[in-house]
Amino acid sequence: KAGVTQTPRYLIKTRGQQVTLSCSPISGHRSVSWYQQTPGQGLQFLFEYFSETQRNKGNFPGRFSGRQFSNSRSEMNVSTLELGDSALYLCASSTGSGAFFGQGTRLTVV
Amino acid sequence: SQQGEEDPQALSIQEGENATMNCSYKTSINNLQWYRQNSGRGLVHLILIRSNEREKHSGRLRVTLDTSKKSSSLLITASRAADTASYFCATDSSNTGKLIFGQGTTLQVKP
């Protein structure tokens, strides 16, 4: 089985722009979660989707949004980028036995 | 934040020694999971222990869970240089894919 695939791997954006990140979960996994990792705040939960519905949301501003498609692939969007949004964004697909993470998208906002 | 705490923050040992990392959390949980991360890459799932379990083994890994103390430990026996990484505990309180991570322990295993 292929693992969780995140694209792109690296991204450089300018303040004020918006960005869309993509995540393809492991085949058959219907739950997809997103996390932000920064040196200062560590790993923080953004949101989780299951069968195209957002089931859980973390404490992030409305600039962070996501969606899930019928094939379970997910995207997250960040609008009006700020320097503080620079981070490693990780996607995970899960079953009841644990979460499987992609390699992440390294976003740098300049 | 419900984020747990891990200690030590950093651990340096010689190859062949055992490494123990501890994790404490704040709320009731359904399960607790341990992950490894190499150099800012993706996280690798190591082991999951459910709230009704007290100990679990997987290869050189041993995890314990004490729900009365809201704490868990990860023991890596006979460590190898390849075990050098950051280790995170994560709690699942809702069975909905939402994990709350600790700050992590950075382990360095010297050859």
What pLDDT, on a 0 to 100 scale, did the predictor assign at position B2? Answer: 46
At B41-87, the pLDDT tens digits run: 889 999 999 999 999 999 999 999 999 999 999 999 999 999 999 99
- pLDDT-above-70 percentage for chain A: 99
| B39–chain A Cβ distance below 8 A for any pair | no
Contact between A68 and A52 under an 8 Å Cβ cutoff? The reply is yes
DSSP A64-98: EEEEE-TTS-EEEEE-S--GGG-EEEEEEEEETTE
What pLDDT, on a 0 to 100 scale, did the predictor assign at position B5? Answer: 83
Picking from A98, A100, A103, the nearest residue to B41 by CB comes out as A103
Helices (H) and strands (E) in chain A, counts: 0, 11
Q: Give A-chain residues touching B3 at CB under 8 angstroms.
A: 42
At B8-45, the pLDDT tens digits run: 999 999 999 999 999 999 999 999 999 999 987 889 99
Q: Name the pLDDT band for B1 (thresholds 50, 70, 90).
A: very low
Summarize the confidence of residues A47-70 as an average pLDDT. Answer: 95
What pLDDT, on a 0 to 100 scale, did the predictor assign at position A8? Answer: 97
What pLDDT, on a 0 to 100 scale, did the predictor assign at position B63? Answer: 98
What pLDDT, on a 0 to 100 scale, did the predictor assign at position B71? Answer: 96
Q: Give B-chain residues touching A103 at CB under 8 angstroms.
A: 41-42
Q: Name the pLDDT band for B96 (thresholds 50, 70, 90).
A: confident
Q: Name the pLDDT band for A95 (thresholds 50, 70, 90).
A: confident
DSSP B41-62: --EEEEEEEETT-SEEEETTEE
Q: Name the pLDDT band for A1 (thresholds 50, 70, 90).
A: low
Q: Name the pLDDT band for B3 (thresholds 50, 70, 90).
A: low
What pLDDT, on a 0 to 100 scale, did the predictor assign at position B6? Answer: 87
Interface residue of B99, B101, B103, B106 to substitute, partner A, most A CBs within 10 Å: B99
Q: Of A81, A94, A61, A110, which Cα lies nearest the Cα of A21?
A: A81
Helical (H) or strand (E) element with B10: strand B10-14
Q: Give B-chain residues touching A92 at CB under 8 angstroms.
A: 43, 97, 99
